[in-house]
Amino acid sequence: MERTRREMMKSVGCVLAAPGVLRARTAPKRYPVGFSTLGCPKWDWKTILNHAAEWGFAAIELRGLQGQMDLTKCPEFSAGRISASLADLAALGLRIANLGASANLHIPDQAERKDQLDEAKRFIDLARQLKSPCVRVFGDKWVQGEAHETTIARIADGLHELGGYAKGSGVTVVLETHGDFPHSATILEMVKKAKSPGVGVLWDTHHTCVAGKESPAETFKALGPYVRHVHLKDSVPDDSGDKYVLTGDGKVPVKDIVGVLAKGHYRGIYGFEWEKMWIPELQDPEVAFPHFAKVISGYLREFGVSPA
């Protein structure tokens, strides 16, 4: 009887150790690091997931897939395939951190504005299905010849509408510190005027530090309660403005940023935005992604953040 019992347990152990089965049941502990698919525009869905798991990432930010920037048009997220895509994520212990919409909320033309808001709403619907906590939108630009207060109000109105649309979905609409808005005070004004619990901030740390000339502590002090997702990247000044370099090799205080977030009890993903889609000459993701994971995980370890 005892021998039979041992043989049975051995057999069960073999089943659990089969490829994919153990990983699906027991998610590995990882530091809260992720990457945007903007950095790997040639990779297919399975390649993205396999590399993410291999290099110790916990999450993925979806910003296009093989050149298709409207995620709602990707076959992987169609009605017939989205369940399989969710199973692919679960099998490797991965999750989606954010969906990057291209919607711009500054646009005054009513027809174009409706198109922008409709895109954001499609992304919110997809985010709910993918269990993504966030959808990113842009304020983007000051409207030429228009008072800043008017542009701010229009962006805030758009955020309010999208926050209301997302109510009950588990999705937060996050306004990125991007384009003409690198200063925390302006972003804070827009978010507060939106008056919606479904609205937060995506802190593009490079933009506030380099374009906005703000210290990480200054930005986080203003925006910390609203920050739901973070973009990290490094650069050095050059003749054209700024040249992106591997994490830790540049002049951006990336380690200080991680420290401010960790000490401020930020609970989101530390996301790598490597703009390979727009700047093809950047280092390939096979180099830049694992380097980022190693460097940021080291910083997190130093600041007392544990893998989960």
Residue-level pLDDT at 103: 98
pLDDT tens digits, 296-305: 999 999 999 9
Give pTM, 2 decimals. 0.91
Contact 244, 235 (CB under 8 A): yes
CA nearest to 107, candidates 171, 157, 172: 157
Residue 164 to residue 171: CA distance in whole angstroms:
11
pLDDT classification of 241: cutoffs 50, 70, 90: confident
Residue 33 to residue 45: CA distance in whole angstroms:
19
Residues in CB range of 161: below 8 A, 6 or more apart? 117
Percent of residues, the chain, with pLDDT higher than 70: 91
Residue-level pLDDT at 240: 81
> By three-state DSSP, how is residue 201 classified?
strand
Q: Residues 203-209: what's their mean pLDDT?
A: 98
Contact 30, 279 (CB under 8 A): no
Q: Residues 72-80: what's their mean pLDDT?
A: 97
Is the pLDDT at 25 greater than 50, yes or no?
no
Q: What are the structure tokens assigned to 192, written together?
A: 């507060």
Query: Nearest 5°: CA angle at 254, between 263 and 268?
Result: 50
Residue with tokens 């502590």: 217
pLDDT classification of 49: cutoffs 50, 70, 90: very high
Contact 99, 65 (CB under 8 A): no
Q: Residues 187-213: what's their mean pLDDT?
A: 98
Residue-level pLDDT at 239: 85
Q: What is the dihedral of CA 208, 264, 30, 99, to 10 degrees?
A: -50
**241 or 187, higher pLDDT:** 187
In one letter, which amino acid is 54?
E
Domain covering 28-302, topology: TIM Barrel (3.20.20)
The 3-state secondary structure of 119-162 reads HHHHHHHHHHHHCCCEEEEECCCCCCCCCHHHHHHHHHHHHHHH
Helices (H) and strands (E) in the chain, counts: 11, 10
What number of CA atoms fall less than 13 Å from residue 175's CA on the CB side? 37
Residue-level pLDDT at 4: 40
Residue 118 to residue 115: CA distance in whole angstroms:
5
Is the pLDDT at 198 greater than 60, yes or no?
yes
pLDDT mean across residues, the chain: 92
Q: Domain map of the chain by residue range?
A: 28-302
Give me the helix-helix angle, 148-165 and 110-130, nearest 10°.
40
Residue-level pLDDT at 288: 98
